[in-house]
Amino acid sequence: METRLDLVFAALSDQTRRAILTMLLEDDMAVTDVAEPFDMSLAAISKHLTILSRAGLITQEKRGRVKWCKLDPDALREASVWMQGFGQFEPVNLDAFERFLEEELRDEA
Amino acid sequence: METRLDLVFAALSDQTRRAILTMLLEDDMAVTDVAEPFDMSLAAISKHLTILSRAGLITQEKRGRVKWCKLDPDALREASVWMQGFGQFEPVNLDAFERFLEEELRDEA
DNA sequence: CGCTTATTTAACCGATTGGTTGACGATCGC
DNA sequence: GCGATCGTCAACCAATCGGTTAAATAAGCG
């Protein structure tokens, strides 16, 4: 049986999809705009978005011919709870996270 | 390019492997003992352990003919930092985690 | 209406995944 | 040394993945 947690972690295991989530952290975006920075077909991005959507990490709403993608952090929270359970972590270091973010964005460029 | 984070999330995306990590939370274990509760060949478990090991989530040390598996939460911390960056999370709810743990263990049984 | 833009679908491809079985190399106990 | 145990390796299998191109669907624009 495939659990929600399976889907979330599988969705997060791809750099392209993590980069998409990072982009959506800034603002909601249309599919075409999500695809723009990537060296990849629109169809491929569409598939990635489907995977993120099935995992519950984003929601998609169609207005007119444009489909808007919006981050939905609920699923992430669930996964985060699972991970934090392994315990020996210091309180979250946001500086470390920002370095991470920059690195991910740099890799993508 | 396959990053560390790719490997960690991919490793976590399988219920069997998450259950193994949960077991190792209690104590270090030999490969055969890890395999015991699962309805799956020893070779399959051996592969799962290799994946966890390459992701840095466990370390394995051979003493005699027994190979001991030990949880190594460093890689998890890295992934956790990434996730927490999505921010809108309440401080970690350990009760929620314990419910999760119980559920995972129940699923496995 | 007819063109353009937005997005998904279908068919295909090679690589990877998660499992199997069977053979194999190491190591322990006797 | 001999037999049992520990664990991995190799070959195989069906299913999924991450990408492609080409066609199809849908909606806005003039």
- Taking only Cα atoms into account, the Rg of chain A, rounded to an integer number of angstroms, comes to 15
Choose the weakest-confidence range: A62-66, A72-76, B58-62, B104-108: B104-108
Residue A43 in 3-state DSSP? helix
Please enumerate, as own/partner, the contacts of B31-36 that have beta carbons within 8 Å and a separation of 24 or more: B31/B66, B31/B67, B31/B69, B32/B66, B34/B69
User: Contact, B103 vs A4, CB < 8 A?
Assistant: no
Residue nearest the C1' of C16 (CA based): B10
- CB-based contacts of B52, cutoff 8 Å, min separation 6: B11, B17, B20, B21, B58
Of A108, A22, A93, which Cα lies nearest the Cα of A57? Answer: A22
- Each residue's pLDDT tens digit, B68-90: 999 987 888 878 878 877 654 44
Choose the weakest-confidence range: A2-11, A97-106, B8-17: A97-106
State whether CATH 1.10.10.10 applies to domain A4-108: yes
- Each residue's pLDDT tens digit, A9-37: 999 999 999 999 999 988 999 999 999 99
**Run of H or E residues at B61:** strand B58-63
Choose the weakest-confidence range: A73-77, A103-107, B105-109: B105-109
Q: Is A105's pLDDT higher than 90?
A: no
Instruction: Say whether A15 and B21 touch across the interface (CB within 8 A).
Output: no
Q: Is B25's pLDDT higher than 50?
A: yes
Instruction: Say whether B5 and A14 touch across the interface (CB within 8 A).
Output: no
What is the amino acid identity at position B80?
S
- The minimum CA-CA distance between A59 and chain B, rounded to whole Å, is 15
Question: Higher model confidence: residue B2 or residue A44?
Answer: A44
Cα–Cα distance for residue pair A7/A86, rounded to 1 Å: 20
Residue B75: per-residue pLDDT? 82
In Å, how far from its chain's centre is CA B107?
A: 15
Nearest to B15 among A6, A81, A89 (CB): A6
Nearest to B81 among A25, A86, A93 (CB): A93
Cα–Cα distance for residue pair B40/A50, rounded to 1 Å: 31
CATH for B4-73+91-108, options being 1.10.10.10, 1.25.40.10, 2.40.50.140, 1.10.287.130: 1.10.10.10
Cα–Cα distance for residue pair A57/A19, rounded to 1 Å: 13
